[in-house]
Amino acid sequence: MAKAQIVIEGLTKTYQTPVRDPGLGAALASLIKRRYCSVEAVRDVSFTLAEGERVALLGPNGAGKTTLLKMLAGLLRPTAGTASVAGFTPWERHYAYLRNISMVMGNKSQLLWDIPPLDSFTVLARIYDLPQPEFQAALDELVALLDLGPLLNSPVRNLSLGERMKCELVAALLHRPQILFLDEPTIGLDVSAQRRLRAFLDDYNRRHGVSFILTSHYMADVTALCDRVILIHQGSLLYDGSLRTLATRLAPFKLMRVTLNQALEYEFVAPPETELVEQTEDSITLRVARSATSTVAAQLLQQLPVADLVIEDAPIESVMDQIYTGGQL
Amino acid sequence: MALRGEFVAYYLILIVVNQVTFAQTNWTVGDLIRDGSMNILLLRPLPPVLDAVATELAGKGVFLLFVGPVTLGLSLLLKPELEWTMIGVMAFIPALILAWLLRFLWGYALALLAFWAARADALLALTDAAIFLLAGQVAPISLLPDLLRTFAVLLPFRYMLSFPVEVLMNRLDSTGLVLGFAMQGFWLVVALFASVALWHRGVRRYAAVGG
């Protein structure tokens, strides 16, 4: 077991958000006396992360994932709790700490819009005091891994979203940080761009032992990159462990799809221990308790004009939906 | 005729000094804070104010490429009259640099109020109005009515724009020169302390939009 690189204990963040009623009168009144309401974005979250480990933070919009990442990146001060990342307290923002980390935000760019990425990279090399040979070596490696060559010299505004995201990653990794915070890095990318980005992150993590914490709403990112997931709901830690365990624990059922070779002439009634998910003219989808899978399958084969029958695990998306809407495990 | 030539010189120099001292980044710092782009700067191992300073310096270079020829063209056309003195030119350089620093830091401090209020840049508009009135734009300070002139001498705005122009044009006696630099220095220290204090408090408060 590698040694712990990130240790956080009881991390809590409460925002004070100004509130007012709509309308001009209320706007004027709020100039004199502002009302605030407290929003607990993160409540008492604790976990540790080893060097080189890859973890996904999961949770619905507004669960507190980004707030948690921002505290770890030193952008926010917690209301309570402690964190030690690579031996530093993030929100003290020691330059030595900032040189050790990087944060990629899917919806924020650190590249200058009107100039080619190569110019932005050169500026970053100066900001991080990278000696020329180190800068060149890091750049060459990243350019090769991400297949960037010709993009380096066009203004950023002329790049596609996928190309820009690759450049964002180069910008984030030039100074070879040991810890990477990825806040929805694949947001808005097409499926093949997502896949390439995942492959890159996977490869880069293996080569350099960089740890990362990722937030994403694309479960494909999570399944491809992180064995360990941390589930946050309404600011609290709900689960910390492997994705597989979570899925079996949460989805003690399988999906059974039956394709019919002729339309039913009577109303189909779902057997016991199953739930009808969808029915069309030539297909039926059922949610079946794991333990009843074989019995139900035999039953269906016997009763229905079956052309094809498929049994599969519940998609991870629907598992997540179940948690997000239910709010508990 | 001499008076006309002097006026022309005054306003031509004022145009150039205004371009040099105008701090355009102050208008964008508030946006960085409000829309969360400040995050990017806070993640880097250097003080975020340097981003504004770098943008200022780069912007100055580009603006002066345009303002220089235009001013030159105008001066050929309008024939300004200016008596140079060595001391005037030598005092002008520091007065100009201090004026830019003062205008920049004053605006930066106001822009940092965006940590607390959504539309802090209204105060920047107010500063521009004050500069128009009290920093020699609407008329040279010496031509202002007594009350306004007193305000102009005491408040910081003159030292952001008109003071270097007056220095270059030899409008000040030695007492005026020393007092002018003293006031400029005083307001610069005030603006510097305000910026530093607001920055440290603001960053602590910074709620990093989104998430």
Residue A241, strand partner residues: A229
pLDDT in tens, B69-96: 999 999 899 888 888 889 899 999 999 9
Cα–Cα distance, A275 to A281 (Å, whole number): 18
Q: How far apart are CA A32 and CA A140, in angstroms?
A: 57
Q: Is there a contact between B157 and B134 (Cβ–Cβ < 8 Å)?
A: yes
Question: Does position B211 have pLDDT exceeding 70, yes or no?
Answer: no
Chain B: nearest CA to A192, how far in angstroms? Answer: 26
Position B210 scores a pLDDT of: 41
Cβ of residue A144 closer than 8 Å to a chain B Cβ = no
- The answer, for A65 touching chain B at a CB cutoff of 8 Å, is yes
Q: Is A127 on the interface with B (CB under 8 A)?
A: yes
**Above 90 in pLDDT, residue A176?**
yes
Read off the pLDDT band of B2 (50, 70, 90).
low
How far apart CA B210 and CA A254 sit, in angstroms, is 37
Q: Which pLDDT band holds residue A324 (cuts at 50, 70, 90)?
A: confident
Instruction: Round to whole Å and give the CA distance between A34 and A20.
Output: 8
Give the residue-averaged pLDDT of A197-212. 92
Q: Are A74 and B43 inside 8 Å of each other by CB?
A: yes
Q: Give residue-wise pLDDT tens across range A234-277.
A: 899 999 999 888 877 777 788 899 999 988 888 888 888 888 88
Average of pLDDT values for A172-177? Answer: 94
Whole-complex ipTM: 0.81
Nearest-10 crossing angle of helices B121-134, B26-35:
170
- What's residue A2's pLDDT? 65
pLDDT at residue A264, rounded to an integer: 83
Residues B28, B68 contacting (CB under 8 angstroms): no
Average pLDDT over residues B168-196: 95
**A-B C-beta contacts closer than 8 Å:** 50
pLDDT of residue A1: 53
Beta bridge partners of A104: A182
Q: What ranges make up the beta strands (E) of chain A? A: 4-19, 35-50, 54-58, 80-85, 101-105, 179-183, 211-215, 228-233, 236-242, 253-260, 274-279, 283-289, 306-313
C-alpha distances out from residue A30 to A16, B115, B205, B208, Å: 15, 17, 19, 22
Our separate counts of H helices and E strands in chain B read 9, 0
pLDDT score of A142 more than 60:
yes
- 């220089």: which residue's tokens? B68
Q: Shortest CA distance to B30 belongs to which of B112, B141, B135, B148?
A: B112
Q: By three-state DSSP, how is residue A314 classified?
A: coil
The residue type of B17 is V
pLDDT-above-90 percentage for chain A: 48
**φ, ψ at A211 (rounded to 5°):** -85, 150
Count CA atoms within 13 Å of residue A287 on its CB side.
Answer: 11
Question: Could you state, in order of their start, the residue ranges of all structural domains in chain A?
Answer: 4-248, 252-313
Shortest Cα distance, chain A CAs vs residue B47, angstroms: 10
Local structure of B72: helix, strand or coil: helix
A275 DSSP β-pair partners = A287
| A28-64 pLDDT per residue, tens | 887 778 788 888 899 999 999 999 999 999 988 888 9
List residues in chain B touching A: CB distance below 8 A: 36-37, 39-40, 42-46, 204, 206-208, 210-211
The CATH classification of domain A4-248, taken from the options 3.20.20.100, 3.40.50.300, 3.90.1010.10, 3.40.640.10: 3.40.50.300
Provide CATH code, domain A252-313: 3.30.70.250
C-alpha–C-alpha distance, residues A101 and A86, integer Å:
9
Instruction: Band the pLDDT of B1: cuts 50, 70, 90.
Output: very low
CB A56 within 8 A of CB A222: yes
For residues A171 and A121, the answer to whether their CB atoms sit within 8 Å is yes
- Kindly identify which residue of chain B lies nearest to residue A180, measuring between CA atoms: B43
End-to-end CA distance of chain B: 66
- The pLDDT-based confidence of B182 (bands split at 50, 70, 90) is very high
| Contact status of A13 with chain B (Cβ, < 8 Å) | no
The pLDDT value recorded for residue A86 is 94
Residues contacting residue B171 through CB under 8 Å, at least 6 positions apart = B140, B142
* pLDDT 10s digits, A88-135: 999 999 999 999 999 998 888 889 888 999 999 999 999 999 999 999
Q: Quote the pLDDT of residue A122.
A: 95
Which of B40, B45, B211 faces A110 most closely, judged by CB atoms?
Answer: B40
Q: What is the pLDDT of residue A228?
A: 94
